[in-house]
Amino acid sequence: MQIIIQVLVDAFSLGGLYALTALGIGLIFSVMRLANFAHAEFVTVAAYVLFALSGQPIVIGIAASVLVTLALAVLTERLAFRPLRNADPATMLISSFSVSMFLQRLLVFLVGSRIKTLDPLPMLGQAVTIGGVQVSSLKLVTILACAVLLAALTLFLKKTRFGLQMRAAAENFTMSRLVGVRANAVIAAAFALSGVLAAVVALLFAAQTGFVQPRFGVQLVIIAFVATVIGGLGNLLGAAVGGFLVGVVSILLQAFLPPELRPFREAFLFVVVILVLLVRPQGLFPARGLKERV
């Protein structure tokens, strides 16, 4: 029973991080049909802001991290993607790679490539006892934070004007523009939300790993892209569900694979992904109007 509780906490904690990352990616894809690989650098920049302000009260660090990442996401959309909005998908994809590489190299130039120690939430280092099992308080807070953010994002998409416009744009962007949805505002709001989600993921992921370096967000975002594909490209619910599923499968593989095979956990994870896509090549929750594009 103790092992089951520990595995479940680990699975939901990692799954929540993947879900939030996949949502940040899915928000952009749903309205622009753009796979934004620069999302990894949004996460990394947020972590470096936390590192730069590590001597300040944590509230200041979190606020600065959110503001800087939000501004970076909106600026990236305005300078790199808006001028190419009518270009073909391959051009948009190359632009996304270019922004990612530029930000990564800029970080190396500014802060170096060495790994830096970062513990933004030291007060959560203690374990708590649940049912006789000691569980990391950081992982419990991660699960709670992910649940709250997912609920808040759901309310935003269903109850606010911008949220409804985003949902309409995700379903049929051309039709939504014809009925008065402002493309620039909706896309800028999607990038802003993705920046906020990236900052939250950076905070929680840095607290779990204890370090930051220029490729800090790359592995996380690669797995989140896989989760987005599994859930269904363009479907925000699918992105969240895909993230949780990938996190749960990853932890189960780590827990139950023989010790000599655990270093190859990602290989087994991708085998599971391939099997899922063979059965459901369009993802678990395919988006309607996927062929629509801005």
Confidence at residue 269, expressed as pLDDT on a 0 to 100 scale: 85
CA angle 272, 16, 280 (to 5 degrees): 30
Do you know the residue count of the chain? 294
Give me the residues of the chain with pLDDT under 50, please: 291-294
Confidence at residue 290, expressed as pLDDT on a 0 to 100 scale: 52
Contact assessment for residue 19 and residue 150, using Cβ atoms and an 8 Å cutoff? yes
CA pair distance 204, 196, nearest whole angstrom:
13
- What is the separation of C-alpha 279 from the centre of its chain, rounded to a whole number of angstroms? 25
Confidence at residue 294, expressed as pLDDT on a 0 to 100 scale: 42
pTM of this prediction?
0.88
CA distances from 254 to 138, 216, 263 (A): 19, 21, 9
Helix (H) or strand (E) holding 134: strand 133-136
